[in-house]
Amino acid sequence: MHTNDVHARFEQFNRFGSDCSDEDAAEGACFGGAARRATKIKEIRDSYENTLLLDAGDQFQGTQWFVFYQGAATANFMNQLGYDALGLGNHEFDLGVEGLVRFLKNVTFPALSSNINASLEPELEALFQKSVILNVGGEMIGIIGYTIRITPELSRPGRNLIFSDEISSVQAEADKMITAGVNKIIALGHAGYDLDLEMARNTVGIDVIVGGHSDTFLYTGTPPTNNEVIGPYPTIIVPEKSPEDRVLVVQDFTFGLYLGLLQVTFDDDGKITSYGGNPVLLDEYVEQDPDILAQINELAAPVDELGLVVVGETFVELTGDSATCRTRECNLGNLIADAMLESFVTYNGGESWSTVGISLMNGGGIRTTVDQGDITVGDITNVLPFQATFDLFDLEGRYLLEALENSVSVYHTNSGTGRFLQFSGLIVTYNVNRPIGDRVVSVQVRCVDCAVPDYEPLVLNKTYRIVGASFIVGGGDGFTSISDNLKTPQTGNLDTSVVTEYIQKYSPIIQGIERRILFDDTEYVDQELETDSPVEEEVTDDPREGNNITDMTPPPAPPREIRKRILFGR
């Protein structure tokens, strides 16, 4: 059995990954949660003799539970559910080394990562292992952990931890196990499905890879939900150096919507002779364990009261109404976009001040205004109610331009639509009188390869590192130019956590309008409808730099079901 990317979902949740309301419960539309998971785990343990329960990382971060309990609730429920091992994910470092140390001191199972050198943090080094060998039914099972090597760009491990190559680190541990006579080995870690496949192809001695990070939904047959299936469960890989072997690669989607269930049979030589299984949906038909549920209800009370906690103060109205944030620049949109960017700013030395300089937030994700005065946790939750994340990705300039065109493809001056973008690191001029797909007049981009941040024209074939709201990263509101073309996506932190921390740091807030979004109201005239009078061609500073982009009309907005994939996705 296995989980990954649970992200502090202790209570059951609705199909969007948010709190399960009474209406959702009445419709049978509540899923997951620790109590439901406990029931299914017990049922499987009662049905099979030799079982393991593994987690591939990112139990931390994602709901107000994590904000309040900071890992204590995670340790409590993982202990009670009887996990056998945890592969450390990048979000396990969100509270720094000190926060991870507190968590690891309270768990009753081994935490694993073979590619982290923690010699400069001896207290942490003593609390996790590169690998572990467990006795399961008289058989020795080796489990090797690994953590995505760019964790310093995604979280807060500090400067004293060194993250090395995942594949070579796992192979080094596997070699030791093979020498010791262990012939059944599981790699348990958090680096994404693509790397897991690469690891399976380029290692020797690994039998099963239990992964996470990319929130990948693997399923064989017809799944019980409409989430997009990325590959079969398990995905079978033939190792290049031992083509007679097979490696089983699995992942369990996200949030604990499912419980991964893989059945594997080995012969005496440790060779896989049979396998099967599929993720098990934790829906209304799986009862919630009453003891675990009682604990959840008790622990939920202070989490609910968290909404009254004051986190800062604003001297200005932070305007977040739809009439403003869906039609023009709004100061709350600026604040959120700046908070998104700051959460990923990392100085790595040299002239470049950061690896990321742009953030994108859809206006539809900003739900209300914050009045002058105290700012509470509840205020922030009301502004950002979807429990989404702010994610990192790489995107070519041409696709960023298409995203900006999509932002104003359905534009109404007084009401607007949710796809209208607020951003940081860009200065964009629109002319909404022009045809759809040709409404971006100019784009200036904040440089990152510079000692002093300045703005320069968008370059179509240049790759930009961007922070985006998970809804648009997943293609919501027609942003398929992002979802279809992004590279190296990395899930970030919960949106409310990012904004809360930013407000705490910069309170009192005096955020204003900064002319990031400009409008050229020149009336558009189709020259094909002009008379035969000669017209002198106008030369403009077009961000397309002479490229002949013809049809940039964005596709229609995806159906509402896409939010299910997005919020359960990245």
Tell me the per-residue pLDDT of 409-421, one tens digit each, with 9 for 90 and over.
988 766 678 899 9
Mean pLDDT, rounded, of the chain: 89
Whether 266 and 330 map to the same domain: the answer is: no
State how far the Cα of 189 lies from the Cα of 178, in Å rounded to an integer. Answer: 19
Q: Residue 224 and residue 283: Cα distance in Å, rounded?
A: 10
User: For position 414, what pLDDT does the model report?
Assistant: 60
Alpha carbon 31 to its chain centroid, in Å, reads: 19
Same domain, residue pair 287 and 325: no
Q: What's the pLDDT at 321?
A: 83
Same domain, 122 and 204: yes
Residues 250 and 392 in one domain: no
Please name every residue paired with 518 in a beta bridge, in sequence order, or none if there are none.
Answer: 429
Query: Measured at the alpha carbon of residue 83, what is the angle toward residues 389 and 118, in degrees to the nearest 5?
Result: 70
Residue 321 sits in the same domain as residue 410 = yes
* Residues of the chain predicted below pLDDT 70: 347-350, 413-415, 523-570
Peptide bond into 234 cis (omega under 30): yes
In a shared domain, residues 297 and 313? no
User: Which of 332, 333, 329, 299 is CA-nearest to residue 317?
Assistant: 332
DSSP string, 544-568: TTT------PPPPPPPTTHHHHHHT
- What is the identity of the amino acid at 314? T
- The per-residue pLDDT for 21 is 86
pTM of the model: 0.75
CATH value at residue 410: 3.90.780.10
Residue 367: per-residue pLDDT: 84
Q: Are residues 60 and 18 in the same domain?
A: yes
Determine contact, residues 280/221, Cβ cutoff 8 Å: no
Dist. CA 275–CA 281, nearest whole Å: 19
| Domain identity same for 297 and 352 | no
Residue 163 and residue 228 in one domain: yes
Of 260, 285, 302, which closes a domain? Answer: 302
Domain shared by 243 and 380, yes or no: no
pLDDT of residue 298: 97
Which of 246, 281, 302 is the last residue before a domain boundary? 302
Q: What pLDDT score was predicted for residue 19?
A: 84
3-class SS string, 229-242: CCECCCEEECCCCC
Which of 250, 272, 302 is the last residue before a domain boundary?
Answer: 302
Q: Give the domain extent around 324.
A: 309-567
User: DSSP characters for 2-62?
Assistant: EE---TT--S-B-TTSSB--HHHHHTT--B--HHHHHHHHHHHHHH-SS---EE-S--S-S
> In terms of domains, do 313 and 294 share one?
no
Shared domain for 479 and 386, answered yes or no, is: yes
pLDDT tens for residues 434-489?
999 999 999 999 999 898 999 999 999 999 999 999 999 999 888 999 999 999 99
- Give the torsion sign (CA, 270, 271, 272, 273): negative
Write the CATH number for 44. Answer: 3.60.21.10
Q: How many domains are contained in the chain? A: 2
Longest CA–CA span in the chain (Å) reads 91
pLDDT of residue 524: 56
- In this prediction, residue 557 carries a pLDDT of 34
